[in-house]
């Protein structure tokens, strides 16, 4: 079975990465994160889960200090010339060939997201209009109640028998 090297900890290169140091711009496994934070020099570093770490911080070079040249669709990983042979049993292609596929997929996702945002804005607008109508009806009902109470109080005052 081929090993997906870019998903391992940048420090020990054995355990799966689960945390990202925003100061060092490196991925850590939990054990290496704890070790990193024990050092006085790194104790104030901030970590995030890898799934919420900013995608802009992903390196354009691998741990071999080589530029990514291949994309593995099985691991969803990028690989350099040295990493590539380890992916031989996976479905890999040149990264330039994979980019248009992802670009098209991202454009579809963006379009779908924009449609959802548009529908959500319409629903918000409709909800605000409905809320305004409810408030207007409530205000009218309050006014009607006050007017009826005034009529009843005035009628009771008019029917009072003087002492």
Q: What are the tokens at 155? A: 């009628």
pLDDT one digit per residue (tens) for the chain, 163 residues? 344 445 788 888 888 888 888 888 888 888 998 988 888 878 888 888 877 654 444 556 566 667 777 777 766 677 777 666 655 666 777 778 877 877 888 899 899 999 999 999 999 999 999 999 999 999 999 999 999 999 999 988 888 766 6
Q: What are the tokens at 50? A: 């890898």
Beta strands in the chain (DSSP E): 19-21, 26-28, 47-49, 70-72, 77-79, 92-94
Q: Report CA-CA distances (Å) from 135 to 21, 79, 91, 127, 162.
A: 50, 60, 60, 12, 43
Say if pTM beats, i.e. exceeds, 0.85.
no
72 Cβ contact partners less than 8 Å away, ≥ 6 residues apart: 4, 78, 79, 87, 90, 91, 92
DSSP, collapsed to helix, strand or coil, labels residue 79 as strand
Neighbours of 86 (CB within 10 A): 14
Write down the pLDDT at residue 111: 93
Q: What are the tokens at 110? A: 């963006």
Residue 2 and residue 90 in contact, taking contact as beta carbons nearer than 8 Å: yes
Neighbours of 57 (CB within 10 A): 13
d(CA 6, CA 79): 7
């Amino acid at each position: 079975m081929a090993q997906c090297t870019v998903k391992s900890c940048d420090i020990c290169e054995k355990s799966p990465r689960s945390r990202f140091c925003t100061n060092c711009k490196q991925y850590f496994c939990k054990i290496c994160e704890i070790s990193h934070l024990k050092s006085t020099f790194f104790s104030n570093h901030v970590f995030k889960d890898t799934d919420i770490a900013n995608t802009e911080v992903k390196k354009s070079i691998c741990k071999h200090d080589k530029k990514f040249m291949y994309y593995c669709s099985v691991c969803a990983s990028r690989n350099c010339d040295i990493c590539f042979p380890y992916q031989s049993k996976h479905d890999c292609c040149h990264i330039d060939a994979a980019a248009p596929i992802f670009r098209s997929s991202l454009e579809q996702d963006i379009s779908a997201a924009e449609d959802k945002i548009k529908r959500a804005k319409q629903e918000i607008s409709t909800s605000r209009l409905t809320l305004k109508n409810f408030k207007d009806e409530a205000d009218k009902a309050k006014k009607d109640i006050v007017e009826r109470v005034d009529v009843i109080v005035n009628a009771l005052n008019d029917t009072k028998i003087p002492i």
